[in-house]
Structure 1
Amino acid sequence: EVRQDFYRLAKFNFKLVRIFLTWEDFQPTPEHIPASALDNLKTVADIAYSNRLLLMPTFFCGHMSGVNWVPAWMLEKSVGKNRFPVFSNGSLVGNNIRNFYIDSDIIEAQKWQLEKVGLALKNHPAVWSYDLGNESSNCVIPPDRRAAHYWLKVMTVQLKKYGGNKTVTLGMHAEDLEEDRHLWPQDAALSCDFLCMHGYPFYLNWVSPQDVYVLPFLALVTNWLSGKPVLFQEFGLPTQPVIASPLPASESYGTCPLWTETEGLAYYNKAMKLLQQVATGALGWCYADYSPALWTKPPLDLNPHERHFGLFRHDGSPKPAVNTFMEYDSFCPLPFKPISHQYSHIFHGMDQNEFYINPTYNLRRLYQQYKKNIVNAEHPE
C-alpha cells in the first residue's frame, strides 16, 4: 500500500510527505519501542527514497482529526470533560491526558523514543526534517512559557544528538495564535530551525469559511513573532464525494460544509499563489480521502467532513486540485528562502512580546489591515 501511495505521489510531482508516528504504536509502554515499528519506519523511508520523495516524520501523535490518540500509560486516573475525545487501547475513554510538558517520567519516555527513532533513521537520505508534534496544544497545554521552552529545548537537543544533522520543527496551528497557550512562536524559535503553521478558515470565527487570504496572513504573523522561516504545513478543504456514498446522505455531512471539487481547485490555486509570496513551502491536507470502511469509526463517525479532505479520492483517483501542485512543483521547502517583507508595515508600532496580551483582538485588527492592503494591491484604482 505504501509503495502504491508513494508511487502515485511521485507521479504527480509531489516532493515532501509528512508522516505520523502514532504514539501508541511506537511506544506502547514507556520503556518499549517495538523493533517492528522501527523496521516498518525504515522500510517506509526506503520506499520514499526509491520514489525520490522526502519525509517529515511527526512525533507524539497525538492530536489528529478531532481526536487525541494516546497510549494508556499517558492517561491520568482522573476522568474529566475533555475538549476532544480521547482514544486509547482500541476505544474512546474519558480519562484526562498527563501533561508531558512537566511530567518528568513522560519527558524521559519521549527522549527514549527520539533516541530510538533518531538512530533508526540517522543519515537516511529520505528524511528531510523532524516535527515534534501535531497541534499539540489540543492535547495538553503547558502551564507556562518556561515549561514549554524547557520541553522544546530538551526534545530538540535529544533529536539532534541521535538523529543526525536534520532540521527540527513544531506543527503549530491558528489556535496557538488566537489564544495564549504558553507556547509562543518566539519561544519555539529558540529551539526549532523553522516553524510550521496550519490554517483552515472554516474553523475560524473571524473570517468567512472560504477566506483563503487568511492563510498567508497566519504565515506572516508567525514569521513576525518568531523571526524564523515558516512552512505552511497544513491547508485544504473537504470536498463533496463524487463516488457513490455507501451511507445515507444525512450521515455524510456534519457541521462543517463540504465544497465541490471545482471549488476545491479554485481554493488551492489561490492559496498556492498567495502562500508562495510569504512561506517557504506548503503542504496540502491531506493525501487521500478515507475508505468508506472506516467511516463508522472514530473520528470519522462524529466528524464526517474529515473523510473528504484528500487531494485524491478514496479509490486513488486524483481530484482536480492535484493539478495545482503540479503547476507549483518548484514551490517546495528546499532550500529555505527569505520571506517577503512587503507587508511588514502592518506590524508597525506593535511589540511581539505584547501580542499575547489580547491575541484574538490583535489578530482581527492586523488582518483587517492586511486584507485591505492585499486587496488594494490586487485591484489598484
Structure 2
Amino acid sequence: MLRFGVNYTPTRGWFHHWLDFDLDEVRADLDSVAALGLDHIRVFPLWPLFQPNRSLIRPRAVEQLVSLADAAGERGLDVAVDGLQGHLSGFDFLPAWTRTWHRRNLFSDPEVIAGQEEYLRTLAAALADRPHFLGMTVGNEIGQFSDAPHPDPDRITPEQAGRWLERMLAACEAGAPGRFHLHAEYDASWYRDGHPFTPAHAARLGAATAVHSWVFNGTAQRYGRTGTATEHHAAYLIELSKAWAVDPRRPVWLQEVGAPAPYIGPGHAASFTAATVANALDCPDLWGITWWCSHDVARELADFPELEYGLGLLTNDRRVKPAGETIARIVADRRGAGAGRPEHRPAPRRTALVLDVGGAEAAPRRSVCAPGGEFFEAWARLTADGVRPAVVLADHLPGSTSDGEAGRAHLAARGITELITPAEVR
C-alpha cells in the first residue's frame, strides 16, 4: 500500500517541545493530522536533549518519545523516527560533547561513533515492540555536517561516510531487528561534486532510498513556480535515485517535499501540491510521500528562515490550509479507489536518459544532475515533451560493464526498452 504521511512539527514550541513535553498538546496535534486521512508521521528527537553526555541517554526523554509514538498509534498513525538531529529548518543541534572544547569529528571519531551507535540502538529498542513503529532514519540530512556550505564542516572521505552509515544502520537494526531502517541526505548527495555522501550510499544502504525535494534549491528560481522542472522536481529525484540502485525494485521514499514561499506563493501552494504529488505517483516503486510539514511554525519563535514559517499543511492553531485540503482529497481518492478495485501501479518508464557522472561510486561529475545542469535540463525537456524518462547510469549499460548480461537484465527488470543521451535531446 502506498503511504501518505507528514513530518510532524509540534505546534507548541516547535521541536523545543521536548524541553517541556505536553502529551495533551501532542494528542491535539495528532488528532488534526489524522483528520487529514494520513497514515504515518516522521518524528524528530533533538539529539542534545536526549543524549546530553556521551554516556547519558536520558530515560525520561526516551519515555516521552515512546508516549508520543503510542499517541500516534492510537490515532491510526504509524511512526518513523529520525535519530541524530542534527539539523532542522536552518538550525543545528549538536551535543556539547562533540563541539568547541570537546571538538571531535561526528563521522570518524571512535568515541563519538560509539556514542551515536548506543543512542540509535536505545531509541530503536524502546520502540521495537510497538506494531505501529516503522523504523529509524539515522538522522535528518546529517550529511550536511560533512562538507560546504556548512560553515564548520567535519570533513571525511566517501569511504568514511559509507563505513559510518553502515555502522549507524547496524545499530538501528540491533535495537529493532527487521524494521524499516534507512538514512536520509539532502540534495548535495545528488547534485554537489565531491560531497562525501554519495548517490551510491543513498541508493544502496538501508531498506529504501530517501529523497528530499526542495524547489528553493534553484529550481523554482530558474524555471518558475509552474515550470515542468519545478512541478516534476520530486519525480525527477525519485527517478534519478534509481540509477544507482542495484535492486531494480528498490523502494523510494519521498521523505520530504513542501511548497516553500515565496518561490511557491500561498495562493499557489495547493496547485503545486497537487501537481507534485500526481507526478510523484507516476513513478514506479514509490514507497510513500511524507509532506513537510504538519503545522506552521509559530511566529513568536525568532530567527527562522522566512520560508520555514509557512510550510505546514495546517496552521499553528491547527486549521487546515489549502495544501492540506489538497493532500486530504488526494488521500481520500486513493483510499476510495482501493475499495474493490486493483491498486494503481504506474506503467514502466520505457525510455531512459543515460547519465554519465564519471563513475558510479564517487560520481565526481554529479553536478550535471543539478538545476541548470546538462542532464537536469535534458530530463526536463523530455518530460515537457510528454516522455516519461527513467534514468540509467552509463556505467551500467550492457556495453559498459564486464557483465553485459547483468546490464541487460537490469534494464529488462525496469522495463526499459529505449536509451537516449542528453546530447540527443533537443
TM-score bin (small chain)? 0.7 to 0.9
Partner secondary structure for residue 223 of structure 2: coil
Aligned partner of 1:356 among 348, 363, 369 = 363
Partner secondary structure for residue 113 of structure 1: helix
Partner of 2:267: 262
Identify if the C-alpha distance between structure 1 residues 349 and 235 changes in structure 2 by more than 3 Å, giving closer, same or farther: closer
Partner of 1:208: 223
Partner of 1:374: 383
Identity of aligned residues (%): 20
Q: String of CA shifts for 1:104-160, please: whole Å, max 9, x gaps.
A: 111100111122112211121121121111111222345112111111111111211
Partner secondary structure for residue 321 of structure 1: helix
Partner of 2:400: none
Asked which structure has the greater RCO (Cα within 8 Å, sep 6+), the reply is 2
* Distance in 1, Cα, partners of 2:360 & 2:375: 15
* Distance in 1, Cα, partners of 2:254 & 2:199: 14
* Distance in 2, Cα, partners of 1:158 & 1:130: 10
Residue 212 of structure 2 corresponds to residue 192 of structure 1: no
- Matching residue's letter, 2:300: A
- Matching residue's letter, 1:20: F
Partner secondary structure for residue 243 of structure 2: helix
Alpha-carbon deviation of 1:76?
3.4
Residue 30 of structure 2 corresponds to residue 6 of structure 1: yes
Aligned partner of 2:254 among 229, 232, 235 = 232
Q: String of CA shifts for 1:280-318, please: whole Å, max 9, x gaps.
A: 321111111112221x2x4x2xx1221111111112111
- Matching residue's letter, 1:45: A
* Distance in 2, Cα, partners of 1:28 & 1:338: 46
* Distance in 2, Cα, partners of 1:258 & 1:217: 19
Partner of 2:340: none
Alpha-carbon deviation of 1:5?
0.9
Alpha-carbon deviation of 1:339?
7.7
- TM-score by length of structure 2 reads 0.73
Residue 282 of structure 2 corresponds to residue 277 of structure 1: yes
Alpha-carbon deviation of 1:270?
0.2
Alpha-carbon deviation of 1:236?
1.0
Structure 1 unaligned regions, length at least 5: 79-96, 240-256
Partner of 1:83: none
* Distance in 2, Cα, partners of 1:343 & 1:104: 46
Partner secondary structure for residue 291 of structure 1: coil
Query: What's the C-alpha RMSD, in Å, of the aligned pairs?
Result: 2.6
Which structure 2 residues correspond to residues 323-362 of structure 1 after superposition, within 5 A?
323-329=325-331, 330=334, 341-342=348-349, 344-347=351-354, 353=360, 356-362=363-369
Partner of 1:84: none
- Matching residue's letter, 1:233: Q
Partner of 2:182: 169
Structure 2 unaligned regions, length at least 5: 1-24, 148-154, 336-342, 389-426
Which structure 2 residues correspond to residues 72-83 of structure 1 after superposition, within 5 A?
72-77=96-101
Partner of 1:252: none
Contact 2:52 2:95 in 1 (8 A): yes
Contact 2:204 2:244 in 1 (8 A): no
Q: Tell me which moved more, 138-147 or 40-49.
A: 138-147
Aligned partner of 2:54 among 16, 30, 49 = 30
* Distance in 1, Cα, partners of 2:110 & 2:348: 41
